[in-house]
Amino acid sequence: MDYNQLVTALGETIYITIIVSILVFLLGLIIGVLLYSLQTKELIGSARMYKLVSGIVNVLRAIPFIILLILLMPFTNLIVGKITGANAAIPALVISVAPMFARLVENTLLDLPQTLLELGIVLKLKKLQVVTKILLKEAFPAILGNFTTVVIATIGYSAMAGVIGAGGLGSFAYTYGFQRNNQLAIWSSTILILVIVFIVEIVSKKIINKIDYR
């Protein structure tokens, strides 16, 4: 087994996870807030727009990731310039995972008491201020908990993307482990992925414990 290749693959998985997580957090948060605002009459309140955005989110969530990866190859080629390598996996991962996070953000906001929204209105806050200064502040620990789930899903998907050439530990396990029947390569990449997941969970739990005042 080539240890240098393993280290490179580990680096690629961490790279993909970090970039995708940042993009998913920003995109998912914006879409989640939009979904919530569209169905809240005190904010935007547009049933028609909600149906449209919600429909797009549902479609993107319903397409199996591996098929989305193939479907998006022309798009990936357009913005990344190639269809293999770590960067090539990013668009498909973001498009697949961000709708999932958006839905979780939407549901977290819907779970907040309606009176918090009313508080913003009573205090004469602007609509965006109601969202940023009250709702997201109150929902943040729960959103962070959901984000952890999404990051872990991203790690899993990135391994899947690796099988069709996106690099990372999934690619390493497939190329060096499966194709060459090297058990050590399969197990070492599996253990490294598990370690990354555990670290993400531990760090997330510590942060949530620190900020959670529910």
Partner 1 sequence: MIKLRNVSKQFGNKQIISNLDLDINQGEIVGLIGLSGAGKSTLLRIINNLEQATSGEVIIKDNIKFGFIFQTFNLVNSLTVRDNIKLALVNSTFTESEKETKVIEVLNLVGLEAYIDSKPKELSGGQKQRVGIARSLIADVDVLLCDEATSALDPFTANEIINLLGELNKKLGLTIVFVSHQLEIVRDFCDRIAIIDNGVLCEVDTTINVFSKPKSNISIKLLGNVLGFERYLDDPTIGLITCYSKSEIKDCYTALLENNVDIEATYQHHTKQGVFAHFFIRSAEQIAGYEIRRINGL
Sites of contact with partner 1 (CB under 8 A): 113, 115-116, 118-119, 121-126, 129, 133-134, 137-138, 140-141, 211, 213-214
Q: Is the dihedral of CA 19, 24, 29, 31 positive or negative?
A: positive
Q: What tokens appear for 12 in the block?
A: 């690629």
- Our CB check for partner 1 shows the closer of 58 and 129 to be 129
Asked if 13 and 21 touch (Cβ cutoff 8 Å), the reply is: no
Q: What tokens appear for 108 in the block?
A: 């977290």
DSSP state of 81: S
- Our CB check for partner 1 shows the closer of 2 and 118 to be 118
The minimum distance between CB 38 and partner 1, in angstroms, equals 20
- Our CB check for partner 1 shows the closer of 59 and 211 to be 211
The minimum distance between CB 32 and partner 1, in angstroms, equals 18
The minimum distance between CB 150 and partner 1, in angstroms, equals 21
Report how far residue 52's alpha carbon sits from residue 108's, in angstroms, rounded to the nearest whole number. Answer: 20
The minimum distance between CB 127 and partner 1, in angstroms, equals 12
- DSSP code per residue over 160-176: HHIIIII-HHHHHIIII
The two counts, helices (H) then strands (E), for the chain are: 10, 0
- Written as one letter, the residue type at 82 is K
- Our CB check for partner 1 shows the closer of 2 and 212 to be 212
Q: What tokens appear for 199 in the block?
A: 């670290």
The minimum distance between CB 49 and partner 1, in angstroms, equals 22
- Our CB check for partner 1 shows the closer of 4 and 214 to be 214
